[in-house]
Amino acid sequence: MKRLNLLLVFVLLLSLASVSVQAQNVIELRMTWYTDGNEDQVMRDLLDRFEAANPDIKVVMDVVPYSAILETLPVQLAAGEGPDMARVTDLGGLAKYYLDMSPYLSDTAYWEENMGPFLKWMRTPDNDTAISGFMTQLTVTGPYINRTLFEQAGIEVPSDTRADVTWEEWAEVTRAVAEATGTQFAMAMDRTGHRFAGPAISMGAKYFNDEGKPMVVGDEGFRAMAQMLLDWHADGTMPLEVWAGSSGSYVAANEEFINVKTVLYMSGSWQIGQFAKNIGDAFDWEAVPNPCGPAACTGMPGGAALVAIGTTKHPEAVARVMEFLASEEILGEFYARTLFIPGHLGLAEKGVDFVTDVEQAKQALSVFASQVGKLDPIAYALQAYPFNRVIFNATRDRLTQAIVGELTLDEAITRIQEDIDAALAEAGR
Amino acid sequence: MPKNMFNTLFSTVYSAIMETVGLLAEPIQRWLGTQRMGYFFVLPNMLIFGVFILFPMLLNFYYAMTGGTQLFPQDRPFVGLSNFERLFTCGDFLNPNTCVEDRFWRAVFNTIVFVVFQVGGMVLLALITALILNRKIVGRGFFRSVFFYPVLLSPVVVALIWKWILQRDGLLNALIVSLGGERTLFLLNSNWATFWAIVVSIWAQMGFYMLILLAGLQAIPKELYEAADIDGANSWQSFQYVTMPLLMPTMLVVLVLSLIRAVQVFDQIFVLTGGGPGTSTFYMVQYIYVTGFSNQIQQFGLASAASVVLGLTLLVFTLIQLRLGRTNAY
């Protein structure tokens, strides 16, 4: 009996040691992730599949608020304490921290062929061949409308008959709908310079001077759109809560749209998933083509990418995870389940069979996908500019000051330029 | 366990610990001498203070004199006083629009207004409440608890509760509208937002200072009031010549603490108003946070310079108050 006990203890110790050795052989990678809708669940599901096929790699997802991606992650990266992979939106601004996976990828041509235009957004000027990640979503900014309110008001949706509806026309017609239906606001726009940029470019904003330097002073298109934004807040077309109600951070107006407080909502394609979930078919919501100005009818491109971080201790393992996730089949499934516009040319051409029963979501996806080819070249240039958030944040904060009367519009535009110049000077030290 | 056994066990463990400490301390005492042994005992505290307070403070001074966006001090170019120069370049110091860093000066003025009204209002209310609750009134214990409960809430919770009350479709507007009044944008009008930022802050913190003042009031000997009564002093005279002089040291503690806390205001107001509308409730700590962390190009140097200015201002205020306290000591 004593011998049997000893044998049992020995076997137990042996199996514990074997588990421990196995655990030591597993590479643990960390992925910092943020989520707008269900993409954290979909990604986890895909990673589980990867781990089942690759038992030597384990990927831990750290799901953080979006603000942590903007504010905390850059400090972590600068300190060399970043994760192995991260989902980011400041693609160019953080490019110096990315890992060039080219030496570890089995088929770089696949990446160039299917993701070429977007890889440029993730590169630094000194390495124009780097492959650092793939787009988890391509986004396009544009407006949503509440069609049910139009029907209740007995007013025709202007884009049903014409493609070139201007911002002024949308403002007028949505005001009429709001008045007829008792809706609080005609229009709302997320509090960010990125959302403002599309309409501004449509109004003729150039954003850059002839030397390619950011310049908003003397930019008549920029001024025209800024004036409209001020007027819409002054006359109650837009809710003060979104732009005026804050001082230095991004504010989304999606709750206003979901709760039927606004007729039109200027946001972007990434809202489709959560609208499908939170609105469903409670009312008829849909995306409409970007309104026009004298210069264009454009929104802004953008998106989020999953990038490999240069400080990883396991570049080969990271590349294996990324290759799996970026493969056409897996990425196609990710886009289909998250309702994201594909940032993969092959999938965009073939078309993604989006997993949703909500007709409104399918319509919105179709509208936003059709907008990709219609975006203005200035919009692409602005999105590719590595310090574009400096321009966007200065625009957001200074125009807010003009909305509440702390600055005149001209003072605000001068301050935007000063903020941009000061930040760029600091970055150049 | 019998009491004796517990005592024996305790004294054995205690002796073992003390002997271990003695093993370490005796050679040090021989080396340092008895006179200087005190330094050895405060060393752990000084080490913690040095590593977690003094060193970051000195590092902050250094950062304030560097530029660029690099995180590590050795990578950052030395720029001397240019960050301070940027903060203090103004056409007219009373008009933030004429300043290079206009938002810094807006934050300074907003902070001054906040500190004056918040500290003034809170100390006054805390004093009145403490005086009332020091009397033998019905439900005294209940009211003491009620006034203290908000102190136990997290600043974020406080801000969210008040946001639900004050927003456009909030409870207060619902009440006003039901009484036939007009909806007011409490958080979207500059003056209202400033007013409510102060009120909410007072509501959240007053209980703490009330409790300190209450303790101060209870420490005043009853005999003094009896003597004043015999001398024919009325209630006001008792308050003026007995209560206030003896409460002054406690008042000073309350003033110093509340002033420091008011200058550091951030989290609660950030959740309540986001610093808006515009920059109406944008205070100094938010300026430091925004400049250093929430912009794409993180200007650590400028943010550090602003925090040095904030720290020095606090130091000056505290020294003035301590000086006044000494002058007025009874």
Q: For the residues B225-236, what does the mean pLDDT come to?
A: 92
Q: What angle do CA B53, B55, B58 make, to 5 degrees?
A: 105
pLDDT at A353: 86
A306 strand-pairing partners: A87, A134
Model confidence band, residue A70 (pLDDT cutoffs 50, 70, 90):
confident
Is pLDDT above 80 for A23?
Answer: no
From A71, A90, A426, residue closest to B299, measured CB to CB: A426
| Domain identity same for B177 and B305 | yes
| Domain identity same for B54 and B151 | no
| Domain identity same for B147 and B236 | yes
pLDDT at A357: 85
* C-beta separation of A105 from A131 below 8 A: yes
Dist. CA A161–CA B291, nearest whole Å: 47
Least confident of A195-199, A365-369, B115-119: A365-369
pLDDT at B319: 86
| Domain identity same for B288 and B198 | yes
In a domain, B316, yes or no: yes
Q: Which 111-130 residues of chain B touch chain A by CB within 8 A?
A: none
How many domains are contained in chain B?
A: 2
State which residues form the domain around B46: 3-64
For residue A245, the Cα-to-chain-centroid distance in whole angstroms is 23
In a domain, B81, yes or no: no
C-alpha dihedral (B259, B260, B264, B268), degrees to nearest 10: -60
| Domain identity same for B180 and B223 | yes
Model confidence band, residue B321 (pLDDT cutoffs 50, 70, 90):
confident
pLDDT at A194: 95
From A406, A407, A426, residue closest to B297, measured CB to CB: A426
pLDDT at B326: 73
pLDDT at A19: 52
Please answer yes or no on whether B279 and A247 come within 8 Å at the CB atom.
Answer: yes
Model confidence band, residue A11 (pLDDT cutoffs 50, 70, 90):
low
pLDDT at A2: 53
pLDDT at A126: 83
In a domain, B134, yes or no: yes
Nearest to A228 by CA among A380, A403, A53, A356: A403
Tell me the per-residue pLDDT of B69-107, one tens digit each, with 9 for 90 and over: 888 899 899 999 999 999 999 999 889 999 999 999 999
pLDDT at A15: 60
Tell me the per-residue pLDDT of A34-62, one tens digit each, with 9 for 90 and over: 998 889 999 999 999 999 999 999 999 99
Q: For the residues A113-140, what does the mean pLDDT come to?
A: 89
Q: For the residues A272-300, what does the mean pLDDT come to?
A: 93
| Domain identity same for B169 and B291 | yes
Fold of A140-301+367-427: D-Maltodextrin-Binding Protein; domain 2 (3.40.190)
| Domain identity same for B199 and B119 | yes
Is pLDDT above 80 for A234?
Answer: yes
- Sort out which chain A residues have CB atoms less than 8 A from B71's CB and list them: 75, 78-79
CATH code for the domain in which residue B123 is found: 1.10.3720.10
| Domain identity same for B52 and B96 | no
* C-beta separation of A369 from A209 below 8 A: no
| Separation in Å, CA A130 to CA A99, A100, A106, A301, B307 | 8, 5, 14, 21, 40
From B68, B100, B294, residue closest to A71, measured CB to CB: B294
| Domain identity same for B247 and B296 | yes
Residue ranges, CATH 3.40.190.10, chain A: 26-138+302-350, 140-301+367-427
For residue B235, the Cα-to-chain-centroid distance in whole angstroms is 33
Q: Which 383-422 residues of chain A touch chain B by CB within 8 A?
A: 387, 389-390, 393, 400-401, 403-407, 411, 415, 418
The beta-carbon contacts of B28-34 under 8 Å, at least 24 apart in sequence, are none
Q: What share of chain A in percent tops pLDDT 90?
A: 69
Model confidence band, residue A92 (pLDDT cutoffs 50, 70, 90):
confident
pLDDT at B140: 86
Model confidence band, residue A18 (pLDDT cutoffs 50, 70, 90):
low
Inform me whether the C-beta atom of residue B74 falls under 8 Å from chain A C-beta atoms. no
Question: Which residues are within 8 A (CB) of A13 and not within 5 positions of it... i.e. 6 or more apart?
Answer: none
CATH architecture of A26-138+302-350: 3-Layer(aba) Sandwich (3.40)
| Domain identity same for B121 and B187 | yes
pLDDT at A204: 96
The beta-carbon contacts of A376-380 under 8 Å, at least 24 apart in sequence, are A376/A201, A376/A202, A376/A295, A376/A296, A376/A298, A378/A201, A378/A205, A378/A206, A378/A207, A378/A208, A378/A296, A378/A298, A379/A197, A379/A198, A379/A201, A379/A298, A379/A299, A379/A300, A379/A301, A380/A301
Q: For the residues A271-282, what does the mean pLDDT come to?
A: 89
Least confident of A308-312, B197-201, B273-277, B282-286: B273-277
